[in-house]
Amino acid sequence: MARVFSGIQPSGELHIGNYLGAVRRWVELQREHECFFCIVDYHAITQEYKVAAMESQTLDMAIGLLAAGIDPERAVLFVQSHVPEHTELSWVLTTVTPVGELERMTQFKEKAQRQESVLAGLMNYPVLQAADVLLYKATLVPVGEDQVQHIELMREIARKFNARYGAGFFPEPQALVGQARRILGLDGESKMSKSMGNTIGVLEEPESIWQRLRPAKTDPARVTRNDPGNPEVCNIYTLHRYFSDPETQEHVARQCRTAGWGCLDCKKVLADNMARELAPMRERAAELRGKIHEVREILAVGAAKAREVARETMQEVRERLGLLQPIRAEEFTR
């Protein structure tokens, strides 16, 4: 049994990109491994966000994860800021992390480009991510492929710490990237992400799924209804591969290649299948929304379990660093 850690930002809605790219895998892993799943609110504040919405977005993400099948009896589900050791270890790790490596990160470069002044928190984002995983000495990190570079850096940070403070202290975590094809947004261009507004939420109503799919990008070569298309370059077809049975997939591909169907016909079938597949999650989420206090309790229990491990690691880390330990109240002599 390995220890697994992964994190997700509290973007509010869990969308099908999150779900197919990572969360579906989490649900499988919790059956066989010791899993820690974390809603990373301290990561979320490295970019502009709505302060007034953070609380509800965090709860909504918890509801989405529980509805998607994360089982608090099997996995530890918690909020990052509820376990202060994450930021504590993160500080320590900044002292073994080369700035050059942080500046090299693709995500940092992309985000920094859009900023007038680049803040230190944005650059240190991958250090906090390393702390998340190393705090639990987890060895498996199920993520989407866009996170592989951060995991590589995390391994380097572990090596650097070990080289300086004790061989073998932190295991080098491994990225677990599913063979899932990259899930593009409905624009058919960029990665599906809430900030791009190109998502479909896992908990969306059937009608709303249809409204989103309707204008979604398909094979750009299909300009008019009678142009034959190529399913291999169509993001809608990629989604069929997840939500439609093999027979339907084949049928859809043929109808596309022969211009038998227009893109709307194809999308209609996808919308129906998607709505059907996601219905059980929608129901579970509705139930959870009716008992928010229970959801918060699940998170509190999760944080307490996580903290047991986190405290121990931080204690060991401080010892490795050679820091003076405070004496305990019982040891006072005056």
Binding interface with ligand TRP (CB under 6 A): 5-9, 40, 43, 129, 132-133, 141, 143, 147
Under the phi-then-psi rule, with left for phi > 0, alpha for psi from -120 to 50, and beta for the rest, what region is 123?
alpha
Q: Which of 137, 191, 217, 305 is catalytic?
A: 191
Query: Any residues with CB less than 8 A from the CB of 118 and at least 6 apart, and which?
Result: 112
From the candidates 111, 160, 217, 268, which is the catalytic residue? 111
The nearest distance, CB 168 to ligand TRP, in angstroms, is 21
* Residue with Cβ nearer ligand TRP (133 or 306): 133
H/E stretch holding 30 reads helix 24-32
Give whichever of 10 and 231 is closer to ligand TRP, judged by the CB atom: 10
Contacts of 45 (CB under 8 A, 6+ apart): 121
Q: Between 46 and 244, name the residue whose CB sits nearer to ligand TRP.
A: 46
Smallest gap from Cβ 108 to ligand TRP, in A, equals 11
> Among this protein's residues, is 191 annotated catalytic?
yes
* Structural tokens at position 25: 């895998």
Question: Is residue 95 packed enough to be buried (19+ CB in 10 Å), middle (13-18) or exposed (0-12)?
Answer: exposed
Return the C-alpha torsion angle 179, 39, 213, 257, nearest 10. -10
Report how far residue 132's alpha carbon sits from residue 134's, in angstroms, rounded to the nearest whole number: 6
For residue 66, the minimal CB distance to ligand TRP (Å) is: 18
| Shortest reach from residue 235's CB to ligand TRP, in Å | 20
- 50, 109, 137, 194: the catalytic one is 194
Do the Cβ atoms of 317 and 89 come closer than 8 Å? yes
Give the torsion sign (CA, 81, 175, 67, 309).
Answer: negative
By C-beta, is 135 or 269 nearer to ligand TRP? 135
Q: Which is nearer to ligand TRP, 178 or 206 (CB)?
A: 178
Contact 43, 9 (CB under 8 A): yes
What minimum distance in Å lies between the beta carbon of 182 and ligand TRP?
A: 14
Are 77 and 302 within 8 A, CB to CB?
yes
Q: List residues with catalytic annotation.
A: 111, 191, 194
